[in-house]
Structure 1
Amino acid sequence: MKEVTRKIPKKDSLGLLLGKPVYTNDLSPKEALVVKVLRSPHAFAEIKNIDTSKAEKIEGIECILTYKDVPKIPITRAGQGYPEPSPHDWYILDKYVRYVGDEVAIIAGKDERCVDEALKKIEVDYEIFEPVLDFEKAENHPSIIHPEKETHPMFEIGFDAQKNIAASYEMEIGNVEEELKKCDVVIKERFYTQAQAHVAFEPHTATSYIDMYGRLIIISSTQVPFHVRRIIAEAFSIPIKDIRVIKPRIGGGFGGKQAIHGEPLVAAVTLKTGKPAKIVYSRKEVFEATYSRHPMRYDITLGASNDGKLKVIDMKGLSDTGAYGEHALTTFMVAGAKTLPLYNKVDAVRFSGKVVYTNKAPGGAFRGYGAIQGNFALESAIDMLAEKLAMDPIEFRKKNMIKEGETSPIFKIMGEGREGVDMIVRSCKLNECIEEGMKLINWKKKFPRKKISETKFRGVGMAIAMQGSGIANIDMGAAVLKLNDDGSFNLLVGATDLGTGSDTILAQIAAEVLNTKTEDIIVYSSDTDITPFDTGAYASSTTYVSGNAVKKAAEKMRKLILKEGSKKLNLNEKNVDFDGKYIFEKDGDKKISLKKLATLLFYTENQKQLVADASYVGEESPPPYMAGFAEVEVDIETGKVMLLNYIGVVDCGVTINPNLAKVQIEGGIVQGIGMALFEDVKYSPSGRLLTNNLMYYKIPSRKDIGNIIVKFIESYEPTGPFGAKSVGEIGIDTPPAAIANAIYNAVGVRINSLPITPEKVLKNNPQG
């Protein structure tokens, strides 16, 4: 391969480094009205009266909108496959406010000064209700968070608003209770994972205007432009054809932009006034009024025989979706679907639980999407079971984990919000990942611990993980290639580059098929009017789903070039080939350059534009695999944990661009380390978010994360483009469990709730 597997810099890297105007706020019309939101100071209340008269008199104010001024249509903001598994429980504006930060009124004015002044002049009378702040007490709480009759599920998912249940799910293979009786060793443990903020450097931003044809145009920092178009059309009862959504460069998303946030707010202003409008969330608003990761609780029961065979896995979960049910069921199901198949040789397995509403900021999509929560619980419990069996935890995993050529019944039973797809794992180098990780961390010499001083101990721990590559039979990507008159190509894709470099990777795939240079593939992405449909950047889908679409389109283009070239050479199509520059006779001297062919086609002979298109829906979702290894140093006097080394060894198939794959894994690992040791979303007793700025919400800096080593073990996935699988999420999954296991091995302290803080280490230290 010439272009695939090359370490090509991102196509947009130079422009970004030079500070070119490429982000949503850069592209907003200069005359756009400034939009801000009056937000609820209460966790749960009903608006009894709202007086905007004083605010409306302020010079420069163009409009103030309340729930009385916008359509009352229940929607879900979740940008995921249609029909959406998430309940329709959100309104553009509502008389109920369900968390501190919920929208009360939309204010638009000519500048920030007048809008800020107007925010202070709006008078609101609330009837305050008792909020539901503890997700373990949410079910059957006296306060019903969604009492409105319009709120409804898209289809039956165990939704019961009267009990504050957004979703529930249960499946069982075999008989868990009967098989547990046959086990020699059984462990039962409870684990908690916390909310986590995305902290993308670019805040949520959107702008809107009416074009010359009277259509609503939205420019948005979004991961899902086509879903945004569909949801906005539903919310305002506007035909989809009258809406265009454009996604420019994005300064990070991580799942936080896999939904609508500011888009309906600016759209409401533009539709009311006819004028351009823009909203740029403050950092406080990003924390308080967008998404966080769903906090979850898991009760894990594992059973095994004395010879180390894992016989039973039982996972019972409870998830906190916050005030709205976006991604409620899907995130919860993925916690099982992307962990349970790791151990496919059990006699019985059960996964069950509920997702409940609370009066906190909504939970939503976040890199790892439930898998990281389930992985922390299961991989911590696996270590505990191995210890009870007196087995090395790695040997226990090797004995029980999935291998190439095998399958799991979980694949078919559990999808994302619906049934999954039966499949055989065609590419899995998990065993090789473990072996390489053991060498890099020097496991045999360091496991389980090493005493450094009277108060400091070092330990190593590990965890394994899997993800997916898109959502089988649901996610679709499409691509269009057109030949230009200089022999270059335009590649149009609906796929959304979040900063991951997907534009570059997709260009590499096209270039490889066409035997040309990546530089000759000009990519245009994510414009709902111009580019073909794509579900968006989520579920680790872009390289696999959109990449396959690009590969198919490029193969069609190659055939078109051969067909037209053979005509110009007066040869049978079977007798010509194409090397990227020339269409040439296989066994002769005739040839024509692609550039000359394009010129003839465009300007002189049998004129035509060569265009090729293709779509792809995965019939499978081949998992990437990872083995993560952590080495920590723990001070038993202070409880401080220092992460010295983190090793991530990954099987993501063939790496289309090794450099971009590497930084994806590194970024995921760092976010996983943040969840393991540092990050915690904290609320006051009244439901006010305390960690609403970067002074109080701590993400790890470079000095906090020690040495990170990433290595790839190459496999070949026959269903992927040039053997590739996904890489975007797998890096985040292993750090919480691997670090928790390392801490236990170092000092004998088992922490079952994240984040692992010095206080928790000291409190649970048996030597303290």
Structure 2
Amino acid sequence: MKEVTRKIPKKDALGITLGKPVYTEDLAPKNALFVKILRSPHAFAKIKNIDTTEAEKVDGIECILTYKDVPRVPITRAGQGYPEPSPHDWYILDEYVRYVGDEVAIVAGKNEKCVNEAIKKIKVEYEVLEPVLDFEKAEGHSSIIHPEKETHPMFEIGFNAEKNIAASYEMEIGNIEEELKKCDVVVSQRFYTQAQAHVAFEPHTAASYIDMHGRLVIISSTQVPFHVRRIIAEAFKIPIKDVRVIKPRIGGGFGGKQAVHGEPFVAAVTLKTGKPAKIVYSRQEVFEATYSRHPMRYDVTLGATKDGKLKVIDIKGLSDTGAYGEHALTTFMVAGSKTLPLYNKVDAVRFSGKVVYTNKVPAGAYRGYGAIQGNFALESTIDILAEKLGMDPLEFRKKNMINEGETSPIFKIMGEGREGVEMIVRSCKLNECVEEGKKLIKWDEKFPRVKVSETKIRGVGMAIAMQGSGIANIDMGSAILKLNDDGSFNLLVGATDLGTGSDTILAQIAAEVLNVPTEDIIVYSSDTDLTPFDVGAYASSTTYVSGNAVKKAAEKMKKLIIKEGALKLGLDESKVDFDGKYVYEIDGDKKVSLKELATVLLYTEHQKQLIAEASYVGPESPPPFMAGFAEVEVDIETGKVKLINYVAVVDCGVTINPNLAKIQVEGGLVQGIGMALYEDVKYSPNGKLLTNNLMHYKIPSRVDIGNIIVKFAESYEPTGPFGAKSVAEIGIDTPPAAIANAIYNAVGVRITSLPITPEKILLNLKK
């Protein structure tokens, strides 16, 4: 390969490094009205009266909107697929507020100062209601969080607003109870995973204006521009053709921007006033009023024979979706669908549970998307079972895990919010990942523990994981290639680069097919007017789904170039080929350069613009795999955990750009380590978020994460572009379980609730 597998710098790297205006706020109209939101001080209340009289008198105020001034259309903000399975339970503004930070009024003015002054002058009379703050007590609580009659489910998914249930699900293969009776060893354990904030460096930002044709244009730091267009059109009851969404560079998303957030508020102001508007969330608003990861509880029961055959997996879950049901069902189902197939040789498997509403910050998409929660519970219990069997947990996994050429019935039964697809795993180097990780961490020397001093003990632990590559039969990407008169190409894609480097990856794929330098592929992405449709950046889909579309488009372009080159040379198409520089006669001396051909095509001979387009929907979702190994040092006097080494060996197929793939895995690992050891969303007794700034919400810095080693297994996925699978999410999944297992192996303390803090370890040591 010439361009694929090259360590090419990201196409936008230089511009961002030089501070060029590339982000949403940079590109917002200079005369845009400044928009801010009056937010609820109560976790649950009904607005009895809003008086904006004094606020409207503030000099510079252009517009104040309440729930009486905007369309009352129930929507889901979740930007994923269509129809999206989440309940339609959110309104641009509503008479109910359902968490501290929920929107009460939209205020727009000529500057931030006047808007802040006006917000203080708005008088709101609330009927304060009893909030639901404990998700284990939400079902059947006397307070009904969504009593409004307009809220409705998209599908019949166990939705029951009267009982605060946003979704429920149950799946069973085989007879759990009968198979458990045949097991020699049975273990059961309950686990809790916490909410987690995304902490993308760029806060949520959106701007809007009316163009010369009277259409609404939105500039947004979004992962899903085409979904934003559809959702905004639905919310305001306007035709989709009258909405345009432009996505500039994004300063991180991680799933937190896989929805509409500020876009409806600027749109409401622009539609009301006819003037441009922009909103830039404060860091406090990002914490308090966007998304967090779904907190979950899992009860896991495993059964095995004494020779180490895993026979039964039974997982029952409870998920906290917060005030609104975005991604409620899909995230919960992924917790099973992206973990259960790892152990595909069981005789019986069951996955069931509910997703409940609470009066807390809404939960939504976050890298790992349910899989990390399920992985922590399952992979921790695997270690518990292996110990009870007297087996090395590494060898127990190897005996029971999925291998290349195998399948799992889970693939067919469980998708994301709906049924999945049958699939044979064509590429799976999980065994190689485990073996390589074993060597790199020096498992045989260090397992289970090494005493460093009288007070410090080191232990090693591991976990395995799988993800997917887009959502099969749902996620679609498309691409357009255009030949320019100097022989370069424009690549137009709806795919959304979040800073991951997908623009570069897609350019490399096109360049590889055309045998031209990646520098000759000029990428323009994510403008709903100018680029072809793409579902957006989520579900680890871009390289696999959008990459396959780009590859198909490039193959079409190559055929067009050969056809026109043959015409120029006066030869039959079968007699010529294209090497990236020349269309040449295979068995002769005739040739024409690509640059010359492009020039004459546009200006003088057989004039036409060469354009090739293609779309791709994955009929399956080939999973990447990973083995993660943690080495920790535990101070038994303080309970402090120091992460010494983390080894990640990943099978993501062919790495289109090894540097970018490595960075993706490293970034995921750091977020997984943060969830395991540091990050904790905390609330006051009345439901106010306490960890609403970076002083109180701890994310790991470079000094906290020890030595990270990332390796890639040699693998080739036959359905992927040049053998590639996804790599964006797989890195995040294993750290919680691997670190928890390492801590147990070091000091014999099994922590079952995240994050794993020194206090929890010390208390358990004292017990």
CA deviation string 1:634-693 (max 9, x = no partner)? 001100000000000000000000000000000000000000000000000000000000
2:66 matched to which residue of 1?
66
Give the drift of 1:765: 1.1
Matches within 5 A, 1:319-718: 319-718=319-718
Matches within 5 A, 1:4-403: 4-403=4-403
Q: Which letter maps to 1:618?
A: G
CA deviation string 1:302-332 (max 9, x = no partner)? 0000000000000000000000000000000
Give the drift of 1:205: 0.1
Q: Which letter maps to 1:180?
A: L
Give the drift of 1:455: 1.0
CA distance in 2 between partners of 1:706 and 1:656 (Å): 27
Q: Which letter maps to 2:685?
A: P
Q: Which letter maps to 1:662?
A: K
Q: Which letter maps to 1:420?
A: G
Q: Which letter maps to 1:575?
A: K
- Structure 2 SS opposite 1:740: helix
Q: Determine whether 1:754 maps to 2:762.
A: no
- Structure 2 SS opposite 1:752: coil
Give the drift of 1:605: 1.1
Q: Which letter maps to 1:207?
A: A
Give the drift of 1:454: 1.1
CA distance in 2 between partners of 1:599 and 1:134 (Å): 68
CA distance in 1 between partners of 2:137 and 2:673 (Å): 29
CA distance in 2 between partners of 1:441 and 1:341 (Å): 26
- Structure 2 SS opposite 1:166: strand
CA distance in 1 between partners of 2:748 and 2:143 (Å): 42
Matches within 5 A, 1:721-740: 721-740=721-740
CA distance in 2 between partners of 1:575 and 1:384 (Å): 66
CA distance in 2 between partners of 1:648 and 1:428 (Å): 15
Give the drift of 1:161: 0.2
Identical positions, percent: 86
CA deviation string 1:164-219 (max 9, x = no partner)? 00000000000001100110000010000000000000000000000000000000
Instruction: Give me the TM-score of the superposition, normalised by structure 1.
Output: 1.00
CA distance in 2 between partners of 1:147 and 1:381 (Å): 39
CA distance in 2 between partners of 1:396 and 1:765 (Å): 27
- Structure 1 SS opposite 2:386: helix
CA distance in 2 between partners of 1:714 and 1:488 (Å): 33
CA distance in 2 between partners of 1:706 and 1:598 (Å): 53
CA distance in 2 between partners of 1:750 and 1:263 (Å): 44
CA distance in 2 between partners of 1:763 and 1:185 (Å): 29
CA distance in 1 between partners of 2:715 and 2:658 (Å): 14
CA distance in 2 between partners of 1:298 and 1:177 (Å): 18
CA distance in 2 between partners of 1:70 and 1:486 (Å): 51
- Structure 1 SS opposite 2:762: helix
Instruction: Give me the TM-score of the superposition, normalised by structure 2.
Output: 1.00
- Structure 2 SS opposite 1:213: coil
CA distance in 2 between partners of 1:259 and 1:758 (Å): 36
Give the number of equivalent residue pairs.
767
**Unaligned stretches of 5+ in structure 1?**
none
- Structure 2 SS opposite 1:765: helix
CA deviation string 1:125-154 (max 9, x = no partner)? 000010000000000000000000000011
- Structure 2 SS opposite 1:649: strand
Q: Which letter maps to 2:140?
A: N
CA distance in 2 between partners of 1:422 and 1:315 (Å): 22
CA deviation string 1:413-447 (max 9, x = no partner)? 00000000000000000000011001110000000
Q: Which letter maps to 1:121?
A: K
CA distance in 1 between partners of 2:155 and 2:239 (Å): 23
CA distance in 1 between partners of 2:380 and 2:223 (Å): 32
Give the drift of 1:373: 0.1
CA deviation string 1:514-570 (max 9, x = no partner)? 000000000000000000000000000000000000000000000000000000111
CA distance in 2 between partners of 1:440 and 1:123 (Å): 63
CA deviation string 1:564-622 (max 9, x = no partner)? 00001111101100000100000000000011111111001111000000000000100
CA distance in 1 between partners of 2:644 and 2:115 (Å): 49
Q: Structure 1: which 4+ aligned runs deviate by more than 4 Å?
A: none
CA distance in 2 between partners of 1:164 and 1:178 (Å): 33
Give the drift of 1:453: 1.1
- Structure 1 SS opposite 2:626: strand
CA distance in 2 between partners of 1:426 and 1:599 (Å): 44
- Structure 1 SS opposite 2:264: helix
CA distance in 1 between partners of 2:450 and 2:25 (Å): 52
CA deviation string 1:697-740 (max 9, x = no partner)? 00001010000000000210000000000000000000000000
1:719 matched to which residue of 2?
719
- Structure 2 SS opposite 1:318: strand
- Structure 1 SS opposite 2:630: strand
CA distance in 1 between partners of 2:85 and 2:111 (Å): 40
CA deviation string 1:483-518 (max 9, x = no partner)? 000000000000000000000000000000000000
Give the drift of 1:243: 0.4
Q: Which letter maps to 1:329?
A: L
CA distance in 1 between partners of 2:532 and 2:156 (Å): 31
CA distance in 1 between partners of 2:761 and 2:118 (Å): 49
Q: Which letter maps to 2:311?
A: K
